[in-house]
Amino acid sequence: MNEEVARARARVLGTPSIPVSEPVPAGMSSASDGERVWPLPAWPDGATPALLEEYQTAPMPLDRPGQARRVLAAALRCCWTRLDDDPWPGRPAAVAAVLEVYAGMSRGDAELARRWATGELRRLADTGWLLLDEQSGTVRPGPRVALWPDGTLGSLRDLLRRLPQPPPDDALTLQPADETAPAEPLDGAVEEAGGAAERHDGVEAEDAGEVAGAGE
Amino acid sequence: MSPTSENAPGATSLDDVLVGEAVLGVYRQMFAALARDSGAVVDDPELVDVAETLLAAFADAGEDGLSREQMRYVCRGYPAEVFENRLRVLKGLGAIREVFPKPNQLRYRASFTSVVGLMFVRRMMLDGGQSEMHRLLALEQLNVADPRMTPEQARDGAEGLARAFRLWSVELVTLTNGTIEELREQAPKLWGTEEILLRAERLHGAILRRWPQLDRTCTDLRAAIYAYGDASRRAAARLSDSAGTTRNLTLLPPETWRTFSRTASRDDLAAVLDGFVFDAAAPWHEPAAIVTAVEDGPRSTPPRPAPPRASLPDNGLSEDAGSDGVEAERLRTVAEEVLRGRDAIAVEDLLDRDWVTARRVLADLSSAHLHPELPYRLVWSDGLTARLDGSPTWVSPGVFERTGP
């Protein structure tokens, strides 16, 4: 493939994967898991988009960034098991386990938390932060986590040690209800857009209450 | 063209009826082209075209006029019933009449007035009366300069203009208060230029100079002109406000854009961005941001533990909180004992006992003096009295007194 086309493709599609045999376009870094390779943007001097904050430039806006990051943390808790290593490539974990961890982190209706987390998992997968395999119901870290400089990972490692334990794998396989959990939200995904609007309010109000309570 | 009635109102005679009939005849001929039948106005622009075609043919035909068959031939483009209807109406209103008023006339001629009326109507349709006002003002200017002009004619002309200006400004004001789309559409035909105002004011000045006795009419005219100027400026201001700072009056208002974006199909909206390529969404989650998000998020356990409590039973607040009430009451009792109903007492008299008791009293009195709520005070004055045999061997003169109730 032409190199310019490959770079343009990588920019337009976000994080497309190419076979390892294909060359990575010049000027891009890459993350590989042995079979596939993901071209990633490269920034000069080891900077990351977090630098935007120092220049008081607004980063890309996100709906509910806090929730997305909590779900990412829950996913990393399950996938990044050897915290002394790099998060990439990590190991696959069951989506049900991630949802369980997230439900344990958050307050309120656990079923609702799982539904929200499912949506956030998809959004994170769309933007290359997670690799979600909905058929097998597994998730693993996305290629973008390979962009994290090693020096910034200390506090994240500490945090992940404090997060609730994911349920052991055999617990998930023993419970058929949990096994179907990743498949179930897929059916509900169609109605998620509609259901999200009405269910959203409760969570938002809860969040607002939390903030107000902390402020007092 | 406006009829002038010279008669006093109220007195009707045969002459009045004749004059009225002549006026009505002119009216009928003028607007025959616009009449649907003898009682109403056309509801289809094509009917006016029939009349115009007919009138043009009459102009070409010359003094002989046209026969009925020739008229039908000219109007061959229109359906027969339409033509018949038009002919009947035009004949009925006098726009087309027999060459000689005899029965069984075959040839017809057209009325000059109808053509002029039609021209006028067409012009009004084109520019909505604004250039008509220009023409009228110019004509009036000429009339005012005419030596044959009478004051009555000048007054009628001025009143007519004042009425026209008033109606004009009323229409503009109504538009200005209406929707912005309507204003944008209609106002350019209505709002005036500086030139019209200048011309009107010049005419007003000319009338007033020549006939000073018409000052009342001229005042009305002046007021109408100014009202029109104000309305025109307000309409312009509203338009330029709605167009924003660009001054481009053809820009769509924001409501239109909003309506479009709400009602357009997805393809319509996407068509705007044809030919653009966008980077995929690439939000960045910094590890520190993840840590912050988790720590700020709602948690299943309360974020802060309750403060530790003693294991001993808690019997509430203590009764003796060291409040000042008891001490103040004691001091008040001592002070009242010392004063014994008087308002002031000298300190020497108080100290006239053994010093051990006296100094206790003196301490209490000082406390009462210093207490902010008690109405007593100790006032010392200069001087020193030596008492060789007293227990304190010297004493300063002083007064313990009551300062209030």
Q: Which of B286, B292, B295, B304 to mutate to test the interface with A (most CBs of A within 10 A)?
A: B286
Q: Does A105 touch chain B (CB under 8 A)?
A: yes
User: For residue B352, what are the domain limits?
Assistant: 326-402
- The pLDDT value given to residue A90: 86
Residues B387 and B363 occupy one common structural domain: yes
User: Which of B246, B271, B301 marks a domain boundary?
Assistant: B246
- The pLDDT value given to residue B31: 66
B96 touches B33 (CB < 8 A): no
Average per-residue pLDDT in chain A?
78
Lowest mean per-residue pLDDT among A159-168, B174-183, B240-249: B240-249
Q: Which of B277, B290, B295 to mutate to test the interface with A (most CBs of A within 10 A)?
A: B290
Which residue is closest to A103 within chain B, CA to CA?
B300
Q: Residue B239 domain-assigned?
A: yes
Tokens 């533990």 belong to which residue? B305
- The pLDDT value given to residue A99: 92
Please give the Cα distance from A143 to A127 (Å, whole number). 10
Asked whether residue A216 carries a pLDDT value surpassing 70, the answer given is: no
Whole-angstrom Cα Rg for chain A:
18
Q: Does A129 touch chain B (CB under 8 A)?
A: yes
Kindly determine whether residue A50 and residue B303, on different chains, have CB atoms separated by under 8 Å: no
pLDDT tens sequence across B103-117 = 777 778 777 777 777
Q: Residue B221 domain-assigned?
A: yes
- The CA-atom distances, in angstroms, between A171 and each of A40, A55, A96, A115, A123 are 36, 48, 11, 21, 27
Q: Residue B66 domain-assigned?
A: yes
- The pLDDT value given to residue B356: 83
Residues B86 and B144 occupy one common structural domain: no
CB nearest B281 (choices: A67, A104, A127): A127
pLDDT tens sequence across B175-207 = 888 777 777 777 666 666 677 888 888 888 888
Q: Residue B366 domain-assigned?
A: yes
Residues B95 and B164 occupy one common structural domain: no
Lowest mean per-residue pLDDT among A128-137, A157-166, B50-59, B123-132: B123-132
CA atoms within 13 A on the CB side of B263: 6
Both tokens assigned to B12 = 């009707």
Asked whether residue B99 carries a pLDDT value surpassing 50, the answer given is: yes
Q: What percent of chain B has pLDDT over 90?
A: 1
Kindly determine whether residue A107 and residue B300, on different chains, have CB atoms separated by under 8 Å: yes
Residues B133 and B215 occupy one common structural domain: yes
Query: CA nearest A125: which of A113, A134, A115?
Result: A134
Residues B108 and B35 occupy one common structural domain: yes
Q: What percent of chain B has pLDDT over 70?
A: 79
User: Which of B211, B246, B281 marks a domain boundary?
Assistant: B246
User: Which of B118, B144, B174 marks a domain boundary?
Assistant: B118
Per the structure, the count of domains in chain B is 3
Residue B205 parent element (H or E): helix B194-210
**Tally of CB atoms within 10 A around B361:** 18
Residues B364 and B339 occupy one common structural domain: yes
Residues B167 and B78 occupy one common structural domain: no
Please give the Cα distance from B5 to B16 (Å, whole number). 9
| Pairing of β B376-380 and β B398-402 | antiparallel
B360 touches B390 (CB < 8 A): no
- The pLDDT value given to residue A212: 38
Mean pLDDT on B16-32: 69
- The pLDDT value given to residue A204: 42
pLDDT range class, residue A211, cuts 50, 70, 90: very low
Torsion of CA B207, B211, B212, B215, to 10 degrees: -60
Kindly determine whether residue B293 and residue A73, on different chains, have CB atoms separated by under 8 Å: yes
**Tally of CB atoms within 10 A around B94:** 18
Q: Residue B292 domain-assigned?
A: no
Kindly determine whether residue B288 and residue A48, on different chains, have CB atoms separated by under 8 Å: no
Please give the residue that has the higher pLDDT: either B41 or B295: B295
Asked whether residue B134 carries a pLDDT value surpassing 70, the answer given is: yes
Please give the Cα distance from A76 to A129 (Å, whole number). 10
- The pLDDT value given to residue B12: 62
A105 touches A71 (CB < 8 A): no
pLDDT range class, residue A95, cuts 50, 70, 90: very high
Domain boundaries, chain A: 3-43, 65-204
**A residues 130-169 near B, CB within 8 Å?**
144, 148, 152-153, 155-156, 158-159, 163
Q: Residue B263 domain-assigned?
A: no
Q: What is the CATH number of the domain that holds B24?
A: 1.10.10
Q: Residue B132 domain-assigned?
A: yes
Chain A positions touching B291 (Cβ under 8 A) are: 155-156, 158-159
Query: CA nearest B75: which of B40, B39, B110, B51?
Result: B51
Q: Residue B275 domain-assigned?
A: no
